[in-house]
Structure 1
Amino acid sequence: MGSLELPGALLIGDIVHAEGEWKECAKFASLKEYRTGNRAEFLSALKSGTYDDVVAIYRSNESTAVTGPFDQELLDALPKSLKYICHNGAGYDNIDIPSCTSKNILVSSTPGAVSNATADIAMFLTLGALRGLTPALASVRAGNWRPTPNALGRDPRGKTLGILGLGGIGTALAQRAVAFGMTVQYHKRTPLKDSPYTYVSFEELLRTSDVLSLNLSLTAETRGIIGQGEFAQMKDGAVLVNTARGGLVDEKALVRALQSGKLAGAGLDVFEREPAIERELLEMGNVMCLPHIGTATVETQRDMEVLVLENLRSAVLEGRLVTGVPEQKGISG
């Protein structure tokens, strides 16, 4: 079979750690690339028929800066040949999954590959928020040694960690928390059959957790799942940790909960309107803020890219995805 007869595979955005593996895909697909540009130019290229043979797309959360979200407008412009979107990221809220399903386009993500790195950051933020490390970090960098006043932090030992969404990342976090002497409980829509951790209702999770960690996907149902009403139900002096998606939290309500003393602190790697952050959160000494770096390690980024390419290879050669998104479970290509 000549290369011109091979089905097309389109890379959108960049690939950094698995460039060699991407080039190897030329054995079974005609490789096309749209690494830089903007949405208007991409839509124009689609309209021109440049990608009319493409059956699979490799895209990422970062490539949203190139094409914009995969919303209804963009999905309507994609070639009719397209059957698979292989997404680099555990979260995929910038892809309209229901519209993909209606068009018989299957989507994969990268669960598992991100679990350890993201759980490490979640544990770091948990410790940082409990110990109140933000003022200490700022003080020593300013040459002032310890901050004044030098408030005491709290130990993780003996505290109850509540995990909202016990998937791969949540499970990896639970393992780390146990090593620090924490008790772990969780809530998700369907309780796990063989979990060593205690399942509780959503209301009990809020009411009894010393630290609440958000480890669930952002969907239409989960957007704003933690807001003013939920903060009111939480323990006085609790800590919120979010390494999932900023849209899960009403950020203004979070500011009010912190200002009132209802919450003792927060550890945040994600924000509601990234890269914009509520000014008050940046000014509060009881808040640790990171710029969405949960998966930012060399090893994890490579694992993610390789998994995307495994999905792409499986899609083109076998007509199935390795790690399809759960919303499309049971749907075949």
Structure 2
Amino acid sequence: MAQPKILIVGEIVWAGEDVQQLLAPVSQVITYNSQDRKDFLEGFNQGGKYDGVVGIFRDNTSADHIGFFDKELIDGFPSSVKWIAHNGAGYDQIDVHACKAKGITVSNTPGAVDDASATTALYLLISTLRQYSISERSLREGNWKPKGLNKISHDLTGRTLAILGLGGIGMRLAELAHAFPMRIIYHSRNKVAGAPGWCEYYPDVEKLLAEADVLSVHVPLRSETVGLVGEKWIRLLKRGSIIINTARGKVIDEDAMIRALEDGHLASVGLDVFPNEPEVNPRLLEFPNITLLPHMGTENQDTQRKMEVRALTNLRDFLVAGKGKDIVPELK
């Protein structure tokens, strides 16, 4: 009996040996070579180069050639496809509702990204409170220390960090920030079981915002979270507060955020994500007091290998046991 086929859609950069250990013994592994969506979908036709594929490893690099895994693409898959193992924690590039209707399960890689994303948020937190972004630019321009910096910078110790979404990344950031120590408060849909006592749960998000010196955003991008941090929530923050975003750009109303920066309601923001990546709103570049990164959250080889291995393991478990781990919440 022929082995089931697994299709690698994207690049496996760090876990090449793990493909041989995890998948090769239980499947026939093939790599996509389509440069456009039409060729990709035609490959699933009977007799095509992807005919009979049952599981797909997918990462975001594939979007450069075939676009997102949207409804059109999902609807074009044959009934043989039963599992999509996404290489990443955020899976907004996949229409999970279309997958559910098609009988396809989607997994992601939670946990593998926690350290890298949390340390990125911590960097943004430190940089914005201490205004290190202004300081570095001043030095690079040959001007040494900018005047008056002490009037707009703060220590982290004793400040209140509000975490919106205490999942794996949010919890890891809480652990790191607590060491300064900072006061840690959070809001999630429910109180997080097992959260330490120093993590204070606020069921009322408006009360949380009113006490925050820094708001760090850690919620997934879904239709109901687009613009979640909007004008009302931003204005409920203290004047002179800071917003950190390492989740997804569209979770924050960018125009409302910029207005708050312009009138001084927000002292700074630290952003690793933007609504229309890789485009960055040029208005943001006009603020010397904010810190911007080009979506660097998981850009290191250690984390990327962990992500690849976790996605491959989910496929292996699907093939061997009929069900992998890390199924996205919408499909549980």
TM-aligned CA deviation for residue 45 of structure 1: 2.3
Taking the TM superposition and a 5 Å limit, the aligned residue runs for 1:148-159 are 148-152=147-151, 153-159=153-159
Tell me what 1:13 maps to.
Answer: 10
Aligned residue among 198, 201, 221 for 2:200: 198
Following the alignment from structure 1 to structure 2, what is the Cα–Cα distance between the partners of residues 83 and 193?
32
Number of residue-to-residue matches in the alignment: 326
CA contact (8 A) 2:131 2:149 kept: no
Tell me what 2:31 maps to.
Answer: 33
TM-aligned CA deviation for residue 193 of structure 1: 3.0
Q: Report the TM-score when normalising by structure 1.
A: 0.94
What secondary structure sits across from 1:26 in the alignment?
A: coil
Following the alignment from structure 2 to structure 1, what is the Cα–Cα distance between the partners of residues 84 and 270?
32
- In the alignment, structure 2 segments of 5+ residues that lack a partner are none
Following the alignment from structure 1 to structure 2, what is the Cα–Cα distance between the partners of residues 41 and 76?
15
Matched, 1:73 2:72: yes
- In the alignment, structure 1 segments of 5+ residues that lack a partner are none
Taking the TM superposition and a 5 Å limit, the aligned residue runs for 1:267-286 are 267-286=270-289
Following the alignment from structure 1 to structure 2, what is the Cα–Cα distance between the partners of residues 165 and 286?
26
Identity %: 44
CA contact (8 A) 2:44 2:52 kept: no
> For residue 90 of structure 1, what is the amino acid of its counterpart?
A
> For residue 10 of structure 1, what is the amino acid of its counterpart?
L
TM-aligned CA deviation for residue 269 of structure 1: 0.4
> For residue 95 of structure 2, what is the amino acid of its counterpart?
D
Tell me what 1:299 maps to.
Answer: 302
> For residue 262 of structure 1, what is the amino acid of its counterpart?
H
TM-aligned CA deviation for residue 322 of structure 1: 1.5
> For residue 15 of structure 1, what is the amino acid of its counterpart?
I
The CA RMSD measured in Å over matched residues stands at 1.4
Following the alignment from structure 1 to structure 2, what is the Cα–Cα distance between the partners of residues 38 and 23?
28
Following the alignment from structure 1 to structure 2, what is the Cα–Cα distance between the partners of residues 251 and 71?
25
CA contact (8 A) 2:34 2:40 kept: no
Aligned residue among 316, 319, 328 for 2:319: 316
Tell me what 1:144 maps to.
Answer: 143
Following the alignment from structure 1 to structure 2, what is the Cα–Cα distance between the partners of residues 6 and 299?
31
> For residue 24 of structure 2, what is the amino acid of its counterpart?
A
Following the alignment from structure 1 to structure 2, what is the Cα–Cα distance between the partners of residues 156 and 137?
19
Following the alignment from structure 2 to structure 1, what is the Cα–Cα distance between the partners of residues 83 and 60?
16
TM-aligned CA deviation for residue 66 of structure 1: 2.5
> Structure 1 residues 36 and 53, CA, compared in 2 at 3 Å: closer, same or farther?
closer
Taking the TM superposition and a 5 Å limit, the aligned residue runs for 1:180-329 are 180-196=180-196, 197-200=199-202, 201-329=204-332
Following the alignment from structure 1 to structure 2, what is the Cα–Cα distance between the partners of residues 246 and 226?
10
Following the alignment from structure 2 to structure 1, what is the Cα–Cα distance between the partners of residues 161 and 149?
26
TM-aligned CA deviation for residue 299 of structure 1: 0.7
TM-aligned CA deviation for residue 47 of structure 1: 4.2
What secondary structure sits across from 1:69 in the alignment?
A: coil
> For residue 141 of structure 1, what is the amino acid of its counterpart?
R
Q: Deviations over 1:102-138 (max 9, x none)?
A: 1111110000000011100101100101111111111
Tell me what 2:20 maps to.
Answer: 23
What secondary structure sits across from 2:224 in the alignment?
A: coil
TM-aligned CA deviation for residue 28 of structure 1: 1.0
Following the alignment from structure 1 to structure 2, what is the Cα–Cα distance between the partners of residues 226 and 138?
29
Q: Deviations over 1:62-97 (max 9, x none)?
A: 222222111110001112100000000000001111
> Structure 1 residues 35 and 237, CA, compared in 2 at 3 Å: closer, same or farther?
farther
TM-aligned CA deviation for residue 35 of structure 1: 5.0
Following the alignment from structure 1 to structure 2, what is the Cα–Cα distance between the partners of residues 258 and 210?
15
> For residue 301 of structure 1, what is the amino acid of its counterpart?
Q
What secondary structure sits across from 1:144 in the alignment?
A: coil
Q: Deviations over 1:128-158 (max 9, x none)?
A: 0111111111111122212245444101111
